[in-house]
C-alpha cells in the first residue's frame, strides 16, 4: 500500500501515485513557459547573429580583412603546426599549475603563521605577493627569460621553456597564495580551537582541520586562476619557445598574412571553454551544497 495525495493535498491509500489535476496543470504550464523562453532566446540569438553578419560583410574594408585574417589556405597550413605547438602549452599548464599550487600554499601558510618568531617569514611572504602581483607578467617574463641567460650563471638553464615556466610560476604563485590565504582566514577560529582542545598540535590542526576546509571553499577561484594560466602560457613565445603562438608567428612572418593568429586564438579558446564550463559547474554545485548546509 502506498500513499497518494488527493485534490486537497491530503495523503490517501492507493496502489500507485496519481498526481492531482492541479499539479498536472502546473507542470504543463512550466513546460510551456520553458519552451516559450527557449524559442524567444533562439530567435533573438539568430536575429543578433544575422545583424552582426550583415554589418561585418557590408563594411567597406571587409574583402581586404577577409583575405588578411580569414584566408582558408593559410588556415589549413597553420593548423597542424599550431596544434603541434599547443602540446608545449599543455605541458606548461600541468607542470606550472602543480608548482603554483604547491608554492602558493606554502606562501599562504607562511603569511598566516602566528607569533613574533615567524615575523620574518610573514614579511617575506607578504613582500613576495605584493611584488609579483604588482609586476606585469610580460615584464616578469622578459626579466627572467632575457635577464637570467645574461648573467651566465653556471648550472642554470637558458632554455626559454624552463625560464618562461619559472616566470609564470613566480607570478601566479602570488595570486594563488592570496586565494589560499583568504580560504584559511575564512575558517572560523573556533575550528582551530576545537582541534586544539581535542589534543591536536597547531600543525595538526592546520593540516587536518583548517586546510581541508580552506581548499574546499576556494576551488572555484583556483580553477579560474588555472584557466588564466592556460591562456598565459602562450606568452613564453617571447623567449623563442615554439608554442602555438610562436608557430603562428613564424608563418605570419613568412606570409604577411594574419590568419595563423586567428587559428592560434581559436585553438586556445577551444581549450579554455571546457575548463571554464567545468569551473562554472563546480561553482554552481558548491553553491547548491552550501545552500543545503552541505559545506561549512
Residue 219 pLDDT more than 80?
yes
Task: Say if residue 10's pLDDT is above 60.
Answer: no
**How many Cα neighbours within 13 Å face the side chain of 87?**
5
Q: Are 147 and 166 in contact (CB under 8 A)?
A: no
CA–CA distance, 210 with 196 (Å, rounded to integer)? 12
pLDDT digits (tens, 9 = 90+) for 11-34: 445 556 787 888 888 888 888 898
Distance of CA 255 to the CA centre of its chain: 34
Is the CA virtual torsion 245, 246, 247, 251 positive or negative?
A: positive
C-alpha cell at 155: 648550472
pLDDT at 296: 53
Separation CA 143–CA 238 (nearest Å): 11
Contacts of 156 (CB under 8 A, 6+ apart): 148
Q: Nearest to residue 181, comparing CAs of 224, 223, 210?
A: 210
In the numeric block, the cell 651566465 is attached to: 152
Whether the predicted model's global pTM rises above the 0.95 cut:
no
Q: How many secondary structure helices (H) and strands (E) does the chain include?
A: 13, 2
Q: Would you give the DSSP letter of residue 27?
A: H
Distance in angstroms (rounded) separating the CA atoms of residues 49 and 61: 20
CATH code for the structural domain at 81-291: 1.10.3720.10
**Alpha-carbon span 155 to 173, nearest angstrom:** 24
**How far is Cα 55 from Cα 87, in angstroms, rounded to an integer?**
37
pLDDT above 90 (res 131): yes
Tens-digit pLDDT profile for residues 221-248 = 888 898 899 889 988 888 888 889 999 9
Q: Residue range 137-149: average pLDDT?
A: 91
List the one residue out of 224, 194, 206 whose CA is nearest residue 109.
206
3-class DSSP state of 2: strand
pLDDT at residue number 168: 95
Report the range of poorest mean pLDDT among 56-65, 83-92, 139-148, 280-289.
Answer: 280-289
Q: Is 217 in contact with 169 (CB distance < 8 Å)?
A: no
Q: What are the residue ranges spanned by the domains of the chain?
A: 2-58, 81-291
Q: What is the dihedral of CA 268, 274, 280, 282, to 10 degrees?
A: -130
* pLDDT score for 155: 82
Amino acid at each position: 500500500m502506498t500513499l497518494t495525495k488527493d485534490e486537497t493535498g491530503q495523503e490517501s491509500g492507493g496502489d500507485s501515485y496519481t498526481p492531482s489535476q492541479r499539479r498536472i496543470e502546473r507542470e504543463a504550464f512550466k513546460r510551456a513557459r520553458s519552451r516559450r523562453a527557449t524559442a524567444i532566446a533562439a530567435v533573438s540569438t539568430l536575429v543578433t547573429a544575422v545583424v552582426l553578419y550583415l554589418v561585418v560583410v557590408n563594411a567597406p574594408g571587409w574583402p581586404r580583412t577577409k583575405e588578411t585574417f580569414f584566408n582558408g589556405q593559410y588556415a589549413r597550413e597553420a593548423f597542424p603546426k599550431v596544434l603541434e605547438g599547443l602540446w608545449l602549452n599543455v605541458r606548461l599548464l600541468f607542470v606550472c599549475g602543480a608548482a603554483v599550487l604547491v608554492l602558493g600554499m606554502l606562501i599562504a601558510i607562511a603569511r598566516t603563521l602566528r607569533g613574533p618568531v615567524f615575523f620574518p617569514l610573514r614579511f617575506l611572504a607578504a613582500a613576495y605577493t605584493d611584488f609579483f602581483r604588482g609586476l606585469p607578467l610580460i615584464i616578469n617574463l622578459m626579466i627572467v627569460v632575457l635577464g637570467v641567460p645574461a648573467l651566465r650563471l653556471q648550472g642554470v638553464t637558458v632554455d626559454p621553456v624552463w625560464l618562461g615556466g619559472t616566470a609564470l610560476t613566480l607570478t601566479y604563485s602570488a595570486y594563488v597564495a592570496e586565494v589560499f590565504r583568504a580560504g584559511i582566514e575564512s575558517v572560523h577560529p573556533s575550528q582551530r580551537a576545537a582541534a586544539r582542545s581535542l589534543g591536536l598540535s597547531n600543525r595538526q590542526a592546520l593540516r587536518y582541520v583548517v586546510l581541508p576546509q580552506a581548499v574546499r571553499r576556494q576551488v572555484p577561484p583556483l580553477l579560474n586562476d588555472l584557466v588564466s594560466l592556460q591562456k598565459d602560457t602562450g606568452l613564453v613565445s617571447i623567449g623563442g619557445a615554439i608554442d602555438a603562438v610562436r608557430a603562428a608567428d613564424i608563418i605570419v612572418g613568412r606570409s604577411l598574412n594574419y590568419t595563423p593568429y586567428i587559428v592560434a586564438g581559436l585553438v586556445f579558446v577551444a581549450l579554455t571553454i571546457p575548463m571554464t564550463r567545468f569551473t562554472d559547474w563546480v561553482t554552481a554545485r558548491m553553491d547548491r551544497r552550501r545552500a543545503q548546509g552541505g559545506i561549512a
